[in-house]
Structure 1
Amino acid sequence: MNVLFVGLGSIGTRHLNNLAEVCARRGIELKADALRSSLRPLPGDAAQKLRAQYVSFDQLGHYDAAFITTPTHLHAHAIAELAGKADCFFIEKPIFEGTGYDLEQLGLGPGQKAYVAAPMRWCGVYLALKELLGSLRPYSARVICSSYLPGWRPGVDYRQVYSAHKAMGGGVTIDLIHEWDYMVDLFGPPLACYNFKGTYSHLEIDSDDLSVYIARYPNMLAEIHLDYFGRTYRRSIELFCKDGTVTADFGAGTLTLADGTVERHEEPLNQRYLREMEYFVDYALQGRGESVNSPGMALDVLRLTLGE
């Protein structure tokens, strides 16, 4: 499998390591190159997994797959530069920092295989909830993702990362697009949605640190709360149903059923990324199935998050 990584920060390195593990398990020869902004030394053993490192698009050949793992505001440029040079794309979420992009012009039309990352859909708790969903008829859903931005990346000044800067695609509204991604996967797009957002905390950022939605579906209402300032990590969805409340707690790895039964689905964080990579290798290399999160789908969710 001949692949290119555009950007090798923390998430790009995670995907490289997971791809190497999946290929090794399956007996697939992996040849990985990286296009980077500089050739400073890579952490850990990432460099040992690479065949070559480049600093210019002009140096590149053709690849089975290209991983776009740069900061969000650089995605469109990288994709356009690689048009016709990659059989399949793996694009980190969110797909772009805004919605003013033409997928056809970027080379992401219907004929181009591409998947936009959606790791929450691959975690054990979510998979269990989705399997259960057919037997539920929720009256309302309450979703929260609350965490403390300065604690996201230990040893890194939070003011310097893309999350802190609106122009770089930061802000909870699109940085935490996972919540809307899985809500649309579970229930489809809402009939109507209202959003209030802004910067309210002490954090030294110019992006929004709080975003709250109320959405209307045919048979239920949904509330979504996203913030960067919660000191206690909370990530869950509560479904209020006739027989009780079903709660998927993604932080604790538990699914609490309406009768109070608690199913435990704890697993290492990386397990969801490994499942995602297993899927991508099947999709990209062996042509199994359609993209479960195509650029068109991802752009629709981005429009929803931004109220467009």
Structure 2
Amino acid sequence: MKVLIIGLGSIAKKHIAALRKNWEVSVYALRSSAKSNSLDGVTDLYSTNELDELQFDFFIISNPTSKHAEAIEKILKYKKPLFIEKPLFDKIGTSNQALISRINNDKIPNYVACNLRFLDCLQEAKKMIAGLRINEINSYCGSYLPNWRPDVDFRKSYSANKEMGGGVHIDLIHELDYLYWFLGMPKKSNTKFTSQSHLDISAVDYANYLLEYDGFCASVILNYYRKEPKRTLEIVTSQATFVVNLLENKIFENGKEVYASSQKILDTYEVQMNFFLKNILVKDDFNEFNTVNEAYKILALCMEN
């Protein structure tokens, strides 16, 4: 099996590691410059002219979000499955909608990678609340951007720079994604974005969403500046209050622990890749699970302000 990766950063390395755990694969990377750092076991390519003869089985798009559309354009003609790192794009608009239409018209299998859908506690929580009367949902994710990539100046990362497609609302789109996965699209939404913290970056470092559903509201708060990480989902139902601790992979019901998993968030990359490969390359049946169509709806919700 051959795969071409466009964008060989930290997230790509996680996908490569996940691939190699269970699959025999030859990995190639389309590089933007001959000066780019090479990675052991990855064959570097420097021109799209080199792609024709290699006959790739699928493509991974994991370059900066602002360059996703350009990368997809380069390889769309091959009509091979696409594994696209979230978020799908850095903006909404007619050009990106046209690109999605081309993917659909050519019936190209595709998946937008939101690995938290494969986190045990979220999968269990989805089952636990099925059929319950929900009164309120609160989703929170706060962490400290300088700690994300300790060996890199965070101010130079795409996350910190608006012009590169960064921003906490885009980086942490997972929260909106899993709420969509749980509940579907809200009837109405209100948002507030700011960039006023001590981090002094151009990208949004605080996002607040209020999502209105039939009979209840869901709030989502995201930030880049919390030094003690916190990632939780609180679901208040008529029967009980459930608190999902994503960092610990646990669920509490009315304060009592009712579920715990030893799975680490890093493990979800392997589960996700196995799901993608088994459903697209083996079964040729993806059942519309987080395709570009879904991902674009979530992106549109994410970008509303």
Q: 1:259 offset after TM fit, Å?
A: 6.8
Matching residue within 35, 38, 48 for 1:57: 48
1:17 alignment counterpart: 17
Instruction: Indicate whether 1:199 and 2:195 are aligned.
Output: yes
Alpha-carbon shift at residue 87 of structure 1 (Å): 1.3
Superposed CA deviations along residues 204-262 of structure 1, whole A, max 9, x for unmatched, are 31011001011110021111101011111011110011222101110121111247243
Is 1:296 aligned to residue 293 of structure 2? Answer: yes
1:144 matched residue in structure 2:
140
User: What's the counterpart of residue 274 of structure 1?
Assistant: 270
1:1-308 aligned at under 5 Å gives the runs 1-23=1-23, 29-39=24-34, 40-42=36-38, 46-48=39-41, 50=42, 52-61=43-52, 62-100=55-93, 101-105=95-99, 107-110=102-105, 111-258=107-254, 260-286=256-282, 287-307=284-304
CA distance in 1, matches of 2:192, 2:96: 27
In structure 1, give the amino acid aligned to 2:21: E
1:23-48, CA deviations, whole angstroms, 9 ceiling, x for partnerless residues?
1xxxxx42221112234443xxx422
CA contact (8 A) 2:250 2:257 kept: no
**1:22 CA displacement:** 1.9
**Residue pair 1:244, 1:259 contacting (<8 A) in 2 also:** no
Question: Normalising by the residue count of structure 2, what TM-score does the alignment of the two structures yield?
Answer: 0.93
- What amino acid does structure 1 have at the position aligned with 2:83? F
SS in structure 2 of the partner of residue 298 of structure 1? helix
What do you get for the CA RMSD once the two structures are aligned? Answer: 1.6
Q: Deviations over 1:258-303 (max 9, x none)?
A: 4724311232222111110110111221113323111011011000
Of residues 126-135 and 138-147 in structure 1, the stretch that sits farther from structure 2 once superposed is 126-135
Deviation at 1:68, TM superposition (A): 0.3
CA distance in 1, matches of 2:164, 2:184: 28
Normalization by structure 1: what TM-score? 0.92
Q: Which runs of 5+ in 2 are unaligned?
A: none
Q: Supply the AA of the counterpart residue of 1:13.
A: K
- Structure 1: state its 5+ residue gaps: 24-28
Deviation by residue 1:57-86 (Cα, 9 ceiling, x = unmatched): 222123210000100011000100101224
Shift of 1:136: 2.4
* Structure 2 SS opposite 1:197: strand
Tell me how far apart the structure 1 counterparts of residues 264 and 213 of structure 2 sit (CA, whole Å).
34
Q: Which amino acid aligns with 2:91?
A: G
Letter in 1 for 2:10: S
Query: Aligned residue pairs: how many?
Result: 298
| Letter of the 2:303 counterpart | L
**Aligned residues of 1:9 and 1:69 also touching (Cα < 8 A):** yes
Letter in 1 for 2:147: G
1:89–1:113 contact (8 Å) kept in structure 2: yes
Q: 1:259 to 1:9 in 2, by over 3 A?
A: closer
Q: For the Cα contact (< 8 Å) 1:22–1:277, is it kept in 2?
A: no
1:135 Cα offset (Å): 4.2
